Structure 1
Amino acid sequence: MFAMSLQLVTAQDYKKVNNAVLLGRIEDAKTEIDKMATDPKAQAKAETYMWKGKIYAAIFKNQQLNAKYPNAEAEAEAALRKYEELDPTFAVAKEKDGIASYFDMYSSYINQGTARFHAKDWANAGQSFVNGIKYIDQIINNKWTSNNIAMDTTSILYAAICFQNAKQLENASVYYKRIADNKVNDTNYVDVYRFLVDYYTRGKKDESQFYKYLTIAKEVFPVHNEEWESYELDFIDTYDLKAKTDLYAKEEAAGTLTENKYIQYGSAFANAKMKDDLDSATAAMYNNKAVEAFKKAFAKNDKNAIAAFNSGVIYYNNFGELDDKVRDNIRTVQRINAEKPVEKDPKKKAAADAKVKAETEPYLKANIALEAPITQQVDQAIEWLEKAYTILKDKATRTNNEKSVINKSVDWLANLYSYKRDKVRGKDNAAFDKFEAKFKEFDALHSKF
């Protein structure tokens, strides 16, 4: 009889709480539930926490009451978590309309986050949206809404934006990834994918994550494939020379190298000898790989003046290096001759001449041996620099980079034809006139573009 009496009292107390809620007397309901919450018997019941969560969620949702009871948010959170421990199937909530608590908490947090967003209180705004997302996820997962949605994409986006503005990029990435993982393709969300591929390049370099979201970005927004490729090129640029070399070989074998990738790799290989401590053989190997890459870029697009120009630059620089060797050899020969002692005695003079010949002959032979490779480099430089010039000369408008390319092309072509002209001076008049005309053609174009 005593136990039944106690049970009836408890049921009566819940009825008082329920009636107060139904009449909209939230503060009266709060008084009743707070009183009940001190009773050890009530503390063991899931229904107590369901009602407490429902009442404090209603207070949190009401602007005036929330100001009066600033702990309502925390009280509602704690009560609902405890309720879920005691009733994981939500049986009581479904029977007593406790599900409304979750909708109230969701809307209250989203409103709170929106207010903080407009106040530019970024970190706290982000956390408010996160708290709201937690409740809408429960609502969706438990099918408490008739809306057929997988997630509250807008709230997730705002959470990510807030954390990004707060410079909490790791937190931002968590929520941007939820959107990307669901392959949201609304054009308003393209920046989500931009953030992720950039973040995994500059913010937190992670190759697997970068390529995961790059792949999704290409799938979801193929119209931006050129942009996605530029992000990939930026990522590749973070590799060291060995990694770039290995990746180039892998992509070359797979046939996945694009025009832009060839240029990217070509530039990396061309700059290798200036940035890396390489022996001469390795430096020459990378020099050859660079020109190979630029030529393959041009093969994919024969209107690519940059690819042609870069090929020409390598050959022009090769010519310059070989020509410097020739000049060094000439200076060495001149020095040896200048240091030859003046001998009047025929025997001593002959011996001195023989010594000079023996000392200078290797340098003279070296210069003869250099003639063929120099000619080859000069002719290749002319071929590729003229390609670049031809592509750009009739363009109505040129970028600043293209202006630089065409101006350098004509200057270097003038130098190359001057070299070829001087090599045949007094030997082949027809060739001399031909190269002289080409020299004048390009020399007249100095700084014209």
Structure 2
Amino acid sequence: MKKKITLFASILLAGSAVYAQKYDPIKGALLTNNITEARKLYDKESANEKFFSKPEGYIIKSYILAFDALDSAKAGDAEKNREAGLEAFNKYKELDPTMKDLDTYKNAPYQLYASYFNSGVSDINTKNYEAAYNKFKNVVDLSDLLIAKKINLPGPIDTNAVYYAGVLAETNKHMEDAVKYNTRLADLKITGPNYEQVYQSLVRYYAGKNDDANFEKYRKLGKELYPQSEFFNYNKLDFAIGGSNSFEEKVANLEKIVTATPEDYKANLALGEAIFEKLNRAKEGDAKPANAAELETKMLTALKKANAVNGNELQPILLMGDHFMTKASAQEEEMRNAEKVVDSKGAKATAADKQKFADAKKAYVAEYAQAAENFEKAADMLGKVAQPDNVQKRQYRVIAGNLAQYYFVIGQDATGANKTKYSALEKKYDTIYKSLK
């Protein structure tokens, strides 16, 4: 049995060697640029499956199809010929990783490269960006091979092909691929009017990933190559705020920064401010967020942290005061409505009516108390400013007015020493309020 196998194998090898001689006439026609004769011979010989018993059969097939893909007379079949040509070329590489025949048939990969490039640009012009992207991925792969084999393209990379691939990858939301292509250009410091967006894209990407090392690397590189561009002066926080497409994305981006740098005052404040705007300054008609309670917790945590990091700044305290004041105002409306019911019914007001009013007033005072706690801190800071500007004066006046009202409200039900205390505080803040008019 062993002897028969060896004999059979030797017969196959001999047949293959003999058949390989069929390649020579096609090769000769191609080398003299006689494509018509080459195709005629190829059509005849490739009908026999033995034609593809050696890798050379596949690169000949690739050569013929790549040429046809560029033939304007066969434009209708260009896509089919291009894809089949690339498939044949990839099969050739698989069967012969050394690609020893490539020098003879170097026009095969070059014409495939040209066909994919031209067709990709055409897709860009018709805004068929996904198709263009898929083609430019092949363009880059083919250009890398051509450069490595020193065939028609200078190195170290085909900047146009890699640039288009990166832009199209980002356009089609394939960000990991965009980073791969853009990094190749950036690491070679490729520059020019169109290439600034390569560095901008990398900066935005690494800002979103909270990757400080790469963010700074490409931000500094962009600044070096494009010193007049304001873009590369932005910090990571700027990108988290300005580069977000929605409130949810902005919060997520800011949370990443806060998690990575918990002692960052500006990041904590920015997170608190973003949520404050959503909860307290919604546009007319906007529904209250379903997760308002969760957002409030995040906001207060961020603002308290900002205040802990830098206790000399007013903004975190003012925002917390304003937030609770807004909540107190909403509760006040409920309290007033409940009070009207009790008043309108007079002696007929039920225990339930009176309890509803008492509960509403309790909730109102509770929210107001939290606002007052922050406003008193702010009032103390503003009162120590030697020469307050107009903004600070307005802030101080509003705060003093709110505090005077608060101590009036809680003083109504107070007795003894507390009533005296609250009355004095009401008078103190009312005096400040009037002095700043």
Provide TM-score, normalisation by structure 1. Answer: 0.60
2:114 equivalent to 1:120: no
Relative to structure 1, is the Cα distance of residues 190 and 434 closer, same or farther in structure 2, using a 3 angstrom cutoff?
same
* 1:46-445 mapped onto 2 (5 Å cutoff): 46-61=55-70, 63-67=71-75, 70=78, 71-94=80-103, 97-140=104-147, 147-149=154-156, 151-152=157-158, 154-162=160-168, 165=171, 168-169=172-173, 172-179=174-181, 182=184, 184=186, 187-193=196-202, 196=205, 211=209, 216-221=214-219, 223=232, 224-225=234-235, 226-230=237-241, 235=249, 237-238=251-252, 251=260, 255-265=262-272, 289=301, 291-296=303-308, 298-299=310-311, 302=313, 306-313=315-322, 316=325, 378=372, 380-384=374-378, 394=390, 410-417=397-404, 435-442=429-436, 444=437
Cα pair 1:193 1:213 within 8 Å, conserved: no
d(CA) in 1 for partners of 2:30, 2:143: 23
Cα pair 2:258 2:267 within 8 Å, conserved: no
d(CA) in 1 for partners of 2:394, 2:306: 20
Cα pair 1:102 1:139 within 8 Å, conserved: yes
Alignment coverage as a number of residue pairs: 374
**Residue ranges of structure 2 left out of the alignment (5+ in a row):** 1-12, 188-194, 221-231, 281-287, 349-357, 413-418
Cα pair 1:388 1:409 within 8 Å, conserved: yes
Deviation at 1:114, TM superposition (A): 0.6
Cα pair 1:129 1:159 within 8 Å, conserved: yes
**Percent of aligned positions with the same letter in both sequences?**
15
d(CA) in 2 for partners of 1:374, 1:74: 72
d(CA) in 1 for partners of 2:91, 2:296: 71
Cα pair 2:16 2:50 within 8 Å, conserved: no
d(CA) in 2 for partners of 1:28, 1:133: 31
Deviation at 1:126, TM superposition (A): 2.0
Cα pair 1:294 1:307 within 8 Å, conserved: yes
Relative to structure 1, is the Cα distance of residues 30 and 423 closer, same or farther in structure 2, using a 3 angstrom cutoff?
closer
d(CA) in 1 for partners of 2:295, 2:15: 95
Cα pair 1:318 1:377 within 8 Å, conserved: no
d(CA) in 2 for partners of 1:286, 1:45: 67
2:18 equivalent to 1:16: no
d(CA) in 2 for partners of 1:323, 1:69: 76
Larger mean Cα displacement after TM superposition, 376-385 or 418-427: 418-427
Relative to structure 1, is the Cα distance of residues 237 and 436 closer, same or farther in structure 2, using a 3 angstrom cutoff?
closer
Relative to structure 1, is the Cα distance of residues 441 and 104 closer, same or farther in structure 2, using a 3 angstrom cutoff?
farther
Deviations 1:66-103 (A, max 9, x none): 43764432342233133223322101223xx2233212
d(CA) in 1 for partners of 2:290, 2:388: 30
d(CA) in 2 for partners of 1:72, 1:374: 76
Cα pair 1:53 1:76 within 8 Å, conserved: yes
Cα pair 2:93 2:99 within 8 Å, conserved: yes
One-letter amino acid matched to 1:158? Y
Deviation at 1:228, TM superposition (A): 3.4
One-letter amino acid matched to 1:237? V
Cα pair 2:120 2:132 within 8 Å, conserved: yes
Relative to structure 1, is the Cα distance of residues 322 and 44 closer, same or farther in structure 2, using a 3 angstrom cutoff?
closer
Relative to structure 1, is the Cα distance of residues 117 and 42 closer, same or farther in structure 2, using a 3 angstrom cutoff?
same
The aligned residue for residue 350 of structure 1 is none
Cα pair 2:62 2:108 within 8 Å, conserved: yes
Deviation at 1:407, TM superposition (A): 7.2
**Residue ranges of structure 1 left out of the alignment (5+ in a row):** 199-209, 340-362, 396-404, 445-449
Relative to structure 1, is the Cα distance of residues 264 and 430 closer, same or farther in structure 2, using a 3 angstrom cutoff?
closer
Cα pair 2:163 2:182 within 8 Å, conserved: no
Deviations 1:125-152 (A, max 9, x none): 2222122123123335666677443x54
d(CA) in 1 for partners of 2:31, 2:99: 20
Cα pair 1:57 1:101 within 8 Å, conserved: yes
Cα pair 1:266 1:292 within 8 Å, conserved: no
d(CA) in 2 for partners of 1:216, 1:116: 33
Cα pair 1:18 1:29 within 8 Å, conserved: yes
One-letter amino acid matched to 1:64? S
Cα pair 2:65 2:85 within 8 Å, conserved: yes
Relative to structure 1, is the Cα distance of residues 315 and 290 closer, same or farther in structure 2, using a 3 angstrom cutoff?
farther
d(CA) in 2 for partners of 1:68, 1:327: 78
Deviations 1:208-256 (A, max 9, x none): xx537675334311533243343699657349xxxx7xx89965xx655
Q: 1:31 aligns with which of 16, 25, 40?
A: 40
One-letter amino acid matched to 2:375? A
d(CA) in 2 for partners of 1:160, 1:409: 53
One-letter amino acid matched to 2:178? Y
Report SS of the residue matched to 1:92: coil
Cα pair 2:182 2:202 within 8 Å, conserved: yes
d(CA) in 1 for partners of 2:16, 2:330: 102
Relative to structure 1, is the Cα distance of residues 4 and 316 closer, same or farther in structure 2, using a 3 angstrom cutoff?
closer
Cα pair 2:46 2:52 within 8 Å, conserved: yes
Relative to structure 1, is the Cα distance of residues 382 and 309 closer, same or farther in structure 2, using a 3 angstrom cutoff?
same
d(CA) in 1 for partners of 2:324, 2:409: 19
Relative to structure 1, is the Cα distance of residues 327 and 298 closer, same or farther in structure 2, using a 3 angstrom cutoff?
farther
Relative to structure 1, is the Cα distance of residues 64 and 143 closer, same or farther in structure 2, using a 3 angstrom cutoff?
closer
Deviation at 1:190, TM superposition (A): 3.8
Cα pair 2:162 2:185 within 8 Å, conserved: no
Relative to structure 1, is the Cα distance of residues 27 and 286 closer, same or farther in structure 2, using a 3 angstrom cutoff?
closer
